[in-house]
Amino acid sequence: MKKRFVVCMAAVLAGGLIAGFAQTEMTEESTEVSVSSDAPTLAYVVAERDEFMGLLEEEVIKAGAAMGYDVQSFDSSGSSDKQYEMMENAVNSGAEAIIVTVTDSSIAPTLLESAGDANVVFINRMPDDTSILNDHVVYVGSNEDEAGTMQGEALAEYFNEKGQTDVRYLMLEGTGGLNHTIRRTEDSVAALKAGGINAEPACDPIMADFKRVSAYDQVTQLLSSDDPVEFDCIISNNDAMACGAIMAMEDAGLDPTSIPIVGIDALADARQNIIDGKMLMSVYQSAEGQAQNAVEAADRMIKGESLDDMFSEEDPYIVWVPFEPVTAADLAE
């Protein structure tokens, strides 16, 4: 079955050294897309507007409009303190329900206090404490136990085919403390080892906060040091950082096709890098699927309708949107 991919909107950053980086960041604290003057409203409290989050926001607004909602989005700019304020603004906006991507997985219970009696859909970043979920508070996202595992399995297959059992990896990590970061990091290494590979870190993880510019800067520093680190592969918690690392390697005169590099999200430029042999694979995370399910869940809660058919028996109050591995063979279909 041919996979479906959503193309990320792109802009070009100014400045010679980092020209060509794609991003989706927007600067407004709140944006509003109107459907009609009397349309019911949904609020979307955004953690921050990085590349994937920018795409997810677009999809939430699109899905809301398709169901007749006027979606107002509020940007927390990566700040938990500001997210509390944005939640209160969302409540005061008169929204029928609030969709929120948490800045920190641990603050979800406190955010619910700010939401009062409003229906809430957590999207993309799962709360640490899932006991807070109920008939009026649900989670929509992809199972983070899967993405890193897919990365590690692909790398294990690659190195086993080469007959290489000892591997030093460079880990590019996202935002510290997030379930995404923890699970993707731990599961990728666990799957690599489960595949028979003696995997060891080449150095401390590079904490690049899911941002390609940060990954580019830090990998550049690593490669230009007096004692450069040697590594056999790059494991990245997302595609943006993987693409930043690829550009850093190229600017340092290194060939990214010489080692396997894996990411997550299947962004447009990552897919091109896979086709060009600069990445081994990525893991598709459906922003469209997460957005559509989040809006559907919000709509049903507003109308007092059951969500039971959206949940799995094992995970009540959770709607899973599957991850999918993406390789050159998939993109050639």
Task: Tell me the C-alpha distance between 138 and 117, whole Å.
Answer: 14
Same domain for 294 and 315: yes
Q: Which residue has the higher pLDDT, 328 or 26?
A: 328
Of 9-23, 96-110, 146-160, minimum mean pLDDT range? 9-23
Task: Tell me the C-alpha distance between 329 and 331, whole Å.
Answer: 5
Query: Is the pLDDT confidence value at 128 over 50?
Result: yes
Task: Tell me the C-alpha distance between 296 and 59, whole Å.
Answer: 13
Cβ-count burial of 51 within 10 angstroms (0-12 exposed, 13-18 middle, 19+ buried)? Answer: buried
Same domain for 312 and 263: no
Please report which confidence band the pLDDT of residue 37 belongs to, taking 50, 70 and 90 as the band edges. low
Q: What is the pLDDT of residue 313?
A: 85
Over range 207-225, report the average pLDDT. 96
218's tokens: 């830090």
Q: What is the pTM of this model?
A: 0.82
Q: What is the pLDDT of residue 14?
A: 24
Beta strand 261-262 pairing with 233-236? parallel
Same domain for 303 and 239: no
pLDDT single digits (tens) 5-19? 333 222 222 222 223
Over range 56-72, report the average pLDDT. 96
Q: What is the pLDDT of residue 26?
A: 32
Q: What is the 3-state secondary structure (H, E, C) of the chain?
A: CCCCCCCCCCCECCCCCCCCCECCCCCCCEEEECCCCCCCEEEEEECCCCHHHHHHHHHHHHHHHHCCCEEEEEECCCCHHHHHHHHHHHHHCCCCEEEECCCCHHHHHHHHHHHCCCEEEEECCCCCCHHHCECCEEEEECCHHHHHHHHHHHHHHHHHHHCCCEEEEEEEECCCCCHHHHHHHHHHHHHHHHCCCEEEECCCCEECCCCHHHHHHHHHHHHHCCCCCCCCEEEECCHHHHHHHHHHHHHCCCCHHHCCEECCECCHHHHHHHHCCCCCEEEECCHHHHHHHHHHHHHHHHHCCCCHHHCCCCCCCEEECCCEEECHHHHCC
pLDDT single digits (tens) 264-316? 999 999 999 999 999 999 999 999 999 999 999 999 999 999 999 999 888 89
Domain limits for position 119 = 30-141+286-322
Q: Which residue has the higher pLDDT, 321 or 11?
A: 321
Cβ-count burial of 219 within 10 angstroms (0-12 exposed, 13-18 middle, 19+ buried)? Answer: buried
Same domain for 96 and 158: no
pLDDT single digits (tens) 26-35? 333 444 444 5
Same domain for 280 and 236: yes
67's tokens: 């169901």
Same domain for 172 and 234: yes
Same domain for 318 and 236: no
Q: What is the pLDDT of residue 50?
A: 82
List the beta bridge partners of residue 233: 169
For the chain, the domain total comes to 2
Same domain for 241 and 188: yes
Same domain for 275 and 167: yes
Q: Which residue has the higher pLDDT, 5 or 46?
A: 46
Q: What is the pLDDT of residue 36?
A: 53
Q: What is the pLDDT of residue 35?
A: 52
Same domain for 271 and 213: yes
In a domain, 5, yes or no: no
Of 11-20, 148-157, 243-252, 292-301, minimum mean pLDDT range? 11-20
In a domain, 252, yes or no: yes
Over range 104-116, report the average pLDDT. 93
Q: What is the pLDDT of residue 300?
A: 97
Q: What is the pLDDT of residue 178?
A: 85
In a domain, 13, yes or no: no
In a domain, 304, yes or no: yes
Tell me, what CATH number does 40's domain have?
3.40.50.2300
Over range 42-57, report the average pLDDT. 92
Residue/partner pairs of 224-231 with CB below 8 Å, 24 or more apart: 224/252, 229/170, 229/202, 229/203, 230/168, 230/202, 231/168, 231/169, 231/170, 231/202, 231/203, 231/259
224-233 core/surface letters (b: 16 or more CB in 10 A; e: else): eeeeeeebbb
In a domain, 329, yes or no: no
Q: What is the pLDDT of residue 72?
A: 95
82's tokens: 């500001």
In a domain, 228, yes or no: yes
Task: Tell me the C-alpha distance between 231 and 169, whole Å.
Answer: 5
Q: What is the pLDDT of residue 8?
A: 29
Same domain for 84 and 74: yes
Please report which confidence band the pLDDT of residue 333 belongs to, taking 50, 70 and 90 as the band edges. confident
Task: Tell me the C-alpha distance between 264 and 172, whole Å.
Answer: 11
323's tokens: 């991850």
In a domain, 102, yes or no: yes
In a domain, 192, yes or no: yes
Same domain for 222 and 131: no
